[in-house]
Amino acid sequence: VQLVESGGGLVQPGGSLTLSCTVSGFTFGTYVMGWFRQAPGKEREFVSGITWSGGFTDYADSVRGRFTISRDRATNTLYLQMNSLNAEDTAVYYCAGVRSSLLRRLSFDYDHWGQGTQVTVSS
């Protein structure tokens, strides 16, 4: 199982960024994929999750209405579209996966993790 994130970088406040996560090595029928982030000195926190088969989504309150999670089953790619970014969104963002039919918010529920991609929001 391999998860590889990309798309991080430096963006100005109010800007947008789209993260991608290519997924390989497992079947997707009953998998849930999630995005988490970890800022310096803080614990890893849930950002968003999606059921791979049905496309049901979940968002942390801090990003709801600004971020959109999606997946492309043809290319086995997970996305996180981030709009209206602010300094509090600065963190390393990780994609994660777990065999489950239910959306999950706790990091220890996830079995597979990517290496992370840095997102910095600064002027």
Write the pLDDT tens digit of every residue in 21-52.
999 887 656 899 999 999 999 999 999 999 99
Average pLDDT over residues 4-12: 97
**Which residues neighbour 99 within 8 Å (Cβ) at sequence distance 6 or greater?**
26, 30, 31, 111
CA distance 50 to 69: 7
| Residue 121: predicted pLDDT | 98
Q: What are the strands of the beta sheet with 17-24, ordered from one edge?
A: 2-6, 17-24, 77-82, 67-72
Write the pLDDT tens digit of every residue in 101-119.
999 999 999 999 999 999 9
| Residue 28: predicted pLDDT | 58
Residue 21 sits at φ, ψ, to 5 deg, of -140, 110
CA distance 26 to 57: 20
